[in-house]
Chains A and B, each alone.
Chain A
Amino acid sequence: MTGFILSKLLRAFITLLLTVSLVFIFIRFSGDPAAAMAPPDAPQEVIDYYAEKLGLDKPLWVQYTSYLAQIVKGDFGYSVDSGRSSVSLFLDRLPATLYLGGFSLLIALTVGISLGTVAALNRGNFLDRGVMAFSVFAFAMPNFLFGLAVILIGALGFQTYLGGQGASISWVGVLPPALTLGLASTGSYARFSRSSLLETINKPFLLAAEARGIPRTRRLFFHAMPNAAIPLVTLIGLSLGGLIAGSVVTEQVFAWPGVGQLLVRSVATRDIATVQFIVLAIAGTMVVANLLVDFLYLIIDPRIRVQ
């Protein structure tokens, strides 16, 4: 078990290190990194300042180690746009994104899993087919189209502009983008929980439970569902890890003041320092989420513990 935890931690660390190295390599080989880090029309002194700060005159591995050292110290550079540190820019935007992502995950989990369960229990009839059709629909629907449709409906039907700039972070304001963002994952949660439950229902231990006289509802809630829920943890982990990255398009459509919008804007203005930090933050979230999933499995699935 300690072996399991240590090897997972090691793998997570290697993944992060590889990601950081890749980001380093990309920035170094993108032409002139100093010019890239400096504002577009900066005078030569500013570019020189950046070149010196990045240590471009030194050998590559020295640059690499000092880059790693900076990251360990938490120094991720400054935004060329506003002159603020990329970390503080990111932190400003984070609550909005977490609010939106959390809300949409909540919708996806509750609605998706309920739909999947209903479908599995009504296998083959119209409810099942309806849920499956919905999940295909949700999968194929681009969220920018759905978002625009939501905005259009809001404008024509309720005379309110849902995609307005200062869409405040509020309970009502979050609903349209959260629905948009949650649609696709609702579909995949429905699909996944349906197939997981169907698979579990056909396991021999449920037949054995029936032979032991355990009533149907009890078999469903105490035996089938907990077992079917285990593989869902992986999916939930992926959703949590993708919380920041997932909302890029939706934030753009609804002008939601979150990290995704910041990322798109920074890419457009070539604000490398900010982009770099957001990328690393996203990778970090995903790695941590995966670790959490692995450790959660240790708790909820006794079969992992012996391995």
Chain B
Amino acid sequence: MSDCDKNFKSFSTPIVVKLALGFVIVFVLFALFGQLLSPHEFRATSLFDRLKPPIGFGGTWTYPLGTDGRGRDLLVRLAVGAQITLIVAIVGTLVGAVLGSLLGIIAAAKRGPIEAFIIGAVDVQASLPIIVVALFVLAVFNSSFTLFLLLVGLNGWEVYARLMRGAVLSAKEHGYVMAIRALGASSFRIYFRHIFPNVLNIVLVQFTINLPLTVLLETALSFLGLGVQPPLTSLGQIMSEGRDRLLTAWWLTLFPGLIIFFLALSISIIGDWVRDRLDPTLRSEK
């Protein structure tokens, strides 16, 4: 490693990471308490206040970020949208991580037909991009928030399963597992006291990669009008509503778009940094 790299590590990365952490904290606070910033209700329409521009572009403090085509306050809608995006991102990522990891561990522990079946399921998922699965399911079933959460959660489960299966299979070959088996430890003890804690890093690393992808998937589906349905809203949905007024009411797409972008960016930066910490050999690999 050259000196340059070291400087990069010790000096500039933490500042970027601090900024990213700062943005995530502000985002979470905004999602939780942003609705208090505005006296308006996020569904309240006002025909007289349609398409008001934000402050600095001819707007007033009544609607600091302007209003949409039905005169709804953009600030409070963004707060609600951020909340939904946050919930979907966290729950969705957890669903995939838990489901995928469990299946991966089961496949490695049980072998035989169960393993073959799980590998088959992984293959199927790997051949169908999650956005296509989501579109298909949403076409067949009636859309609901729970179903949407589940679908977003499926994002990347097959990667967890594949990684965990590989990791557990190789951990099983480790010397310490053999030595501890020779000591007479039960399978339960071997898996939960030794193997699982040692492969947990892999789940965490994948989690940091998966989280921004989940945010992007949620917003993309909502942008297509197939995600969160009105009267609820999410950042992607606000953007899609503002799309047709791109040139006249740019704030409707710009603000949610920037929030999504900076959120995904910040999480990726933090994720890279966490990955560095957990395992230096994983640096800058995907």
Q: Which residues of A line the B interface, CB within 8 A?
A: 11, 14-15, 18-19, 22-23, 26-27, 30, 36, 123-125, 129, 132, 136-137, 139-145, 148-149, 151-152, 155-156, 188, 191-192, 194-195, 241-242, 245-246, 248-249, 252-253, 263-264, 266-268, 270-272, 275-276, 278-279, 282-283, 286-287, 290
Contacts and interface: CB of A to CB of B under 8 A. Distances in A.
Interface string B258-286: 10110011011100100000000000111
B120 A142 contact: no
B127 A283 contact: yes
Given A26-B137, A137-B265, A148-B257, A287 B127 contact: yes
B225 A279 contact: no
Nearest to B216: A142
A143 B243 CA distance: 14
B132 A245 contact: yes
A280 to B, nearest CB: 10
Interface of B: 1-5, 8, 120-121, 123-124, 126-129, 131-133, 135-141, 212, 216, 219-220, 223-226, 236, 239-240, 243, 246-247, 250, 253, 257-258, 260-261, 264-265, 267-269, 272, 284-286
A139 B135 contact: no
Contacts of A14: 120, 123
Nearest to B263: A140
Contact of B212 (A23, A139, A194): A139
A137 B123 CA distance: 30
Contacts of B4: 124-125
Contacts of B260: 142, 145
Contact of B257 (A139, A145, A195): A145
A136 B243 contact: no
A140 B268 contact: yes
Given A148-B257, A282-B128, 4 more contacts: A22-B124, A140-B212, A140-B265, A188-B286
Which of A188, A246, A282 is most buried by chain B, counting CB atoms within 10 A of its CB? A282
A249 B223 contact: yes
A275 B265 CA distance: 33
B282 to A, nearest CB: 10
Contacts of B272: 136
A166 B73 CA distance: 34
B132 A279 contact: yes
B129 A242 contact: yes
Contacts of A283: 124, 127-128
A192 B286 contact: yes
10 contacts: A18-B123, A143-B220, A148-B246, A149-B257, A155-B246, A245-B131, A264-B135, A267-B136, A279-B132, A279-B136
Contacts of A11: 123
Given A14-B120, A15-B120, A248-B224, A267 B139 contact: yes
A272 B250 CA distance: 35
Contacts of B124: 15, 18-19, 22, 283
A246 B128 CA distance: 11
Q: Interface centre among A148, A246, A253, by most B CB within 10 Å? A: A148
B261 A140 contact: yes
Which of A144, A148, A264, A271 has most chain B Cβ within 10 Å?
A144
Contacts, number: 154
Given A15-B124, A124-B5, A140-B261, A145 B224 contact: no
B37 to A, nearest CB: 24
Contacts of B132: 245, 248, 263, 278-279, 282
Contacts of B226: 264, 267-268
Nearest to B282: A195
Given A129-B8, A139-B212, A266-B139, A148 B243 contact: yes
A290 B122 CA distance: 14
A287 B126 CA distance: 9
A195 B239 contact: no
Given A191-B286, A268-B225, A286 B126 contact: yes
Contacts of A290: 126-127
Contact of B224 (A123, A129, A264): A264
B169 to A, nearest CB: 17
A248 B138 CA distance: 15
Contacts of B225: 268
Please give me the 3 A-B residue pairs with the lowest Cβ-Cβ distance, nearest first: A124-B4, A140-B264, A140-B265
Contacts of B253: 145, 148
Residue of B127, B240, B246, B261 contacting most chain A CB atoms (<10 Å): B127
Contact of B127 (A124, A139, A195, A286): A286
B268 A136 contact: yes
Contacts of A148: 239, 243, 246, 253, 257
Contact of B136 (A194, A275, A286): A275
